[in-house]
Amino acid sequence: MDTAPNTIPGPPRDLVGYNGKPPKVTWPDGARIAISLVVNYEEGSEPAVGDGDPASERALSEIPYRPWPDGERDLAMESMYEYGSRAGYWRLMDIFDELDVKATFYACAVAMERNRKAARLIGEKGHDMICHGWRWEDVALLTRDEEREHIRLAVASLKDTMGQRPLGWYCRGRPSVNTRELVVEEGGFLYDSDAYNDDLPYWTEVHGKPHLIIPYSLVNNDGGFGTGAFGSPDSFEEHLRYTFDQLYKEGATHPKMMNIGLHMRVVGQPARAQALYNFIEYAKSFPGVWFARRIDIANHWIEHHPA
């Protein structure tokens, strides 16, 4: 692996990867593409003055970013987040049931504590869960000791609310230079998804031992509704179709993975949920498509493409 010298803390950069020669992937039943539906369950763990935080969350909502005074509750923002767990979650679960697909939930521990019925239903319905942090927070702003403690708290909390410990990890958007080491040191994690640099899983090294990365995507992600990348639900559906079509074509010789990032308060809105429904139905109309939980991808990679 050709990497830049690691002169600063954190993982070394790798600008080469598979170097144009990805492994000959053998997904189950000869699938050309593995589609990972990811639902970010963050509602109730985001910063909110109403929960005692010094400032309210400003990101991933239905209103453009606007200044807001610290120490003042933003009731509109709080209620927009509440929509995700009150309505969006149930709409998405109905869609997954109707179309018979399984998803992976990026579960924030505090959010799951506040909706235990929803937490338990994820496993009961056969969906997967990975740890999305103790709270929906920027871990890069924590000290190493604080981050270590929050990982420990998150694992213990999810064991309680969901009946099992998480086997995967993904923090809020930006990992710190310590995150991957701390995840490995905590133990019990098979992989992390704190990377956006490939269309396939890959192995890296932490403390001299192999560690699996299953990259995520902020491109095939409903967060684009908040940044202006997507306008109408049609644009989101079209974007997902274009991505699928290209990866499916490539998958004839070199099967790939497609991540789709979802947020209950965003794509859980009726019109956008219909766009998601339409895309899933479209993808399922093709042979050789594997809708896979991330734990299934991890286990398959460990077995068939070991370090």
| Residue 19: pLDDT over 70 | yes
- The DSSP output letter for 142 is S
Domains of the chain: 28-50+72-304 (3.20.20.370)
pLDDT at 62: 82
pLDDT at 1: 47
Distance CA 229, CA 196 (A): 18
Taking a C-beta distance cutoff of 8 angstroms, is the pair 99, 280 a contact? yes
Taking a C-beta distance cutoff of 8 angstroms, is the pair 289, 27 a contact? no
Question: pLDDT, tens digit, for every residue of 169-220?
Answer: 999 989 999 999 999 999 999 999 999 999 999 999 999 999 999 999 999 9
Backbone angles phi, psi at 289, to 5 degrees: -120, 125
Question: pLDDT, tens digit, for every residue of 66-84?
Answer: 788 999 999 999 999 999 9
* Percent with pLDDT over 70 in the chain: 98
Question: pLDDT, tens digit, for every residue of 256-286?
Answer: 999 999 999 999 999 999 999 999 999 999 9
